């Protein structure tokens, strides 16, 4: 019988932010825009007011006027996520990344070395808390569905194991919307049939569900309602792109503001690539206008790079290629694809290139930031206020 764990970081963005601002613990907090944009993550204190991820910051402010909004720090999230997934990899080689802060782990073969499933789950929670300073919840079960539902039941900062013989009793009292993959539309359809709990769905003839929801969806839902889930944990390949984006506080058409923000974003992306030992050739610029239209363009560089200046120059070329007449921009983003290991690429420096140039300077800057924090060393062009970005 498989042993599957689902590990989910609790209010991940908020918890990472609170490592630097512990004085805000216990207060309603969200990560995201203060007056524009969306809420990326909300503390449990803010959730008590109805604030939740994906909600507009404007609505969140109406629900909880006293909440503290914290600017996202994507570098910090990437760094903590990398550390968390390194812990997962030390437990089992079969780790399926669901998102930056969520994964399935196959624990079937770990018992002989690390102990029983609960011991392994508690070990994961302790290592994540000790090494990364953030809490996580763990669900352990024979299937992915029940493991994910178990981690939800364990929140915040807990562990729930569902034994094979407990699957039905765990599932059936819960509302239908708790089934992984049942969204608002399907929930509404089930409610119209008078089905509000998973147990009621399980005891409905499969043919009835198929007539109401479609042959495939009805059959799959009936099986899931009985805990039948044959999906296995599949190790996730390494990410093949690195990107970052920023939303402006106020829509802007100022070329200087946009160019500066593209430099800031390019620096973040390049830093992450160097930290991961990657270089890339394809650069994509994404623009979202004030009317929420989104466009993008890409170009392929002559040689792979992990340099800030090269990425910034490419982003500016793409910006110029749009031939826009001072449109008002809401958000900009830069992404690099076509990534390869830096050691796999042989680079030929130009004849007039100095022996020690920007590449060495950036690596030295990376070392300073790694030791003293993200604000220890920044480019002079980025030392002013972040005009309009959130």
pLDDT of residue 390: 39
Q: How far is CA 180 from the centre of its chain?
A: 18
Q: Which of 12, 138, 30, 173 is nearest to 80 (CA)?
A: 12
As annotated, the active-site residues are 102
pTM: 0.67
- The one-digit pLDDT tens for each residue of the chain (390 residues) are 899 999 999 999 999 999 989 999 999 999 998 877 889 999 999 999 999 988 999 999 999 999 999 998 887 888 888 889 889 988 998 999 888 899 999 999 887 778 899 999 999 999 999 989 999 999 999 999 999 999 999 999 999 999 999 999 999 999 999 998 898 999 999 999 999 999 999 999 999 999 999 999 999 999 999 999 999 999 877 667 888 888 888 889 999 999 999 999 999 899 888 888 888 989 999 998 888 788 899 998 888 898 999 999 999 999 998 877 778 898 899 999 888 887 765 444 444 444 445 566 666 666 655 555 555 555 655 655 554 443
241-382: CATH topology is Dna Ligase; domain 1 (3.30.1490)
Query: Any known ligand binding at 101?
Result: yes
254 is in an annotated binding site: no
Cα gap 282→299, rounded to integer Å:
6
CB of 104 closer than 8 Å to CB of 147? yes
Topology given in CATH for the domain delimited by 176-225: DNA polymerase; domain 1 (1.10.150)
Indicate the angle between helix axes 74-91 and 255-276, nearest 10 degrees. 20
Q: What is the pLDDT of residue 357?
A: 52
Peptide bond into 156 cis (omega under 30): yes
Sequence spans of domains, the chain: 12-74, 176-225, 241-382
Tokens of 361: 């300077």
Domain 12-74 has CATH 1.20.1050.140: no
CA angle 308, 86, 310 (to 5 degrees): 10
3-state SS class at 337:
strand
pLDDT at 113: 75
Question: In whole angstroms, what is the distance from residue 258 CA to residue 331 CA?
Answer: 9
Q: Residue 54, by phi and psi: left (phi above 0), alpha (psi -120 to 50) or beta?
A: left
What is the separation, in whole angstroms, between the first and last Cα of the chain?
48
Gap between the Cα atoms of 369 and 205, Å rounded = 60
C-alpha torsion angle, residues 288, 41, 175, 173 (rounded to 10) = 160
């Amino acid at each position: 019988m498989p042993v599957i764990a689902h590990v989910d970081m609790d209010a991940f963005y908020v918890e990472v932010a609170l490592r630097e601002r512990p004085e805000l613990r216990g207060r309603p907090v969200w990560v995201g825009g203060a007056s524009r944009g969306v809420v990326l993550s909300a503390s449990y204190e803010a959730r008590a007011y109805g604030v939740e991820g994906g909600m507009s910051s404007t609505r969140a402010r109406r629900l909880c006027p006293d909440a503290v909004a914290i600017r996202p720090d994507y570098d910090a999230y990437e760094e903590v996520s990398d550390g968390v997934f390194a812990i997962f990899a030390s437990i089992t080689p079969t780790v399926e990344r669901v998102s930056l802060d969520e994964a399935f782990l196959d624990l079937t073969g770990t018992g002989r070395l690390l102990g029983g499933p609960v011991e392994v789950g508690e070990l994961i929670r302790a290592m994540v808390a000790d090494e990364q300073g953030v809490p996580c919840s763990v669900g352990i079960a024979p299937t992915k569905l029940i493991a994910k539902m178990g981690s939800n039941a364990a929140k915040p900062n807990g562990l729930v194991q569902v034994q094979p013989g407990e699957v039905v009793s765990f599932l059936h009292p819960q509302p239908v919307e708790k089934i992984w993959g049942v969204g608002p539309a399907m929930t509404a359809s089930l409610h119209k049939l008078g089905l509000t709990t998973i147990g009621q769905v399980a005891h409905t003839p499969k043919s009835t569900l198929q007539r109401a929801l479609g042959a495939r969806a009805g059959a799959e839902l009936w099986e899931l309602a009985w805990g039948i889930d044959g999906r296995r944990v599949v190790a996730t390949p390494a990410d093949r792109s690195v990107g970052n984006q920023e939303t402006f506080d106020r829509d802007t058409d100022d070329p200087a503001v946009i160019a500066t923000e593209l430099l800031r974003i390019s620096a973040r992306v390049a830093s992450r690539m160097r930290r991961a030992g990657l270089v890339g050739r394809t650069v994509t610029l994404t623009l979202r206008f004030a009317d929420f239209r989104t466009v993008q363009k890409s170009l392929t560089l002559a040689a792979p790079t992990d340099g800030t200046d090269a990425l910034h120059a490419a982003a500016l070329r793409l910006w110029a290629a749009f031939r826009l007449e001072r449109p008002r921009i809401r958000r900009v983003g830069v992404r690099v694809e076509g990534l390869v290991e830096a050691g796999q690429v042989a680079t030929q420096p130009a004849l007039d290139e100095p022996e020690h140039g920007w590449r060495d300077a950036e690596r030295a800057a990376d070392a300073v930031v790694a030791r003293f924090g993200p604000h220890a060393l920044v480019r002079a062009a980025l030392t002013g206020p972040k005009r309009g970005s959130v």
